[in-house]
Amino acid sequence: MNILAKIVSDKRKEVDLKKSLIPIQQLESSVLFKRETISLSKTLQNSESGIIAEHKRQSPSKSIINQSLNVQDVAKGYENAGVCGMSILTNGKYFGGSLDDLILARASCQLPLLRKEFIIDSYQIIEAKSYGADAILLIAAILTKNEIKQFSELAKSLHLDVLLEVHNKEELQKSIIPSLDMIGVNNRNLKTFEVNLETSKQLSEQIPDDFVKVSESGISSVNAIKELQLLGYKGFLIGENFMKTDNPGASATEFINALKT
């Protein structure tokens, strides 16, 4: 069984358990459920850097990245650096994240927050809103076209932006739906975890201009971003590059300053 299939199988069990413990009505009565969201896609369209900086403690491909930082400091550091948005991994078993990270980041900054999770149930979208997210990630590789439509329409009804992640032409073609805001090309092969920026380059022309183009994974140089900007990309999801340092905010500041020169 490849790692993606295993993560999804574990996630289904986790979501079933949560649904039995915390009813949807309880999520909808959260204070954060009523807050006005900040649009990540609009922020990216109006930005020069387009950086979405990630909070990620570990991953299946790299194991431990950084366990010593607290999410509030990381969120404040990223905001001071001038990033466009922050991606919060809420997957516990494989990435060491939690929904508490989302709440703590929400309390610490005014950035648009993306809940990065393996979403396989509409329950998780309501959960994202109730914990302070502004946007959700949908992964084409684990969803049918009908699920992408259903989940993205639900997200839009809750004023959440939708970033749809694809890895190849087939996933992209099945996924183009008006209720998406951003299409992200993941340069990491989720079966082998190898990274190749060519994936973003090859798919750039196939993404309709109605959507904000985002490149994800393996972006570690200013040159890579400048190259991708020429192909129409407005968003760049950067995780490990900042998180592997002692001060992600400072390394994001340095990176954005280099990008401006």
As annotated, the active-site residues are 54, 56, 116, 165, 186, 216-217
* Rounded CA separation 37/159 (Å): 7
* Rounded CA separation 185/207 (Å): 10
Contact between residue 190 and residue 167 where contact means Cβ atoms under 8 Å apart: yes
Encoded tokens for 47: 């930005």
* Rounded CA separation 161/75 (Å): 20
> Which residue matches tokens 């996933």?
171
169 φ, ψ (degrees, to nearest 5): -60, -40
Residue-by-residue DSSP string for 43-54? HHHT-SS-EEEE
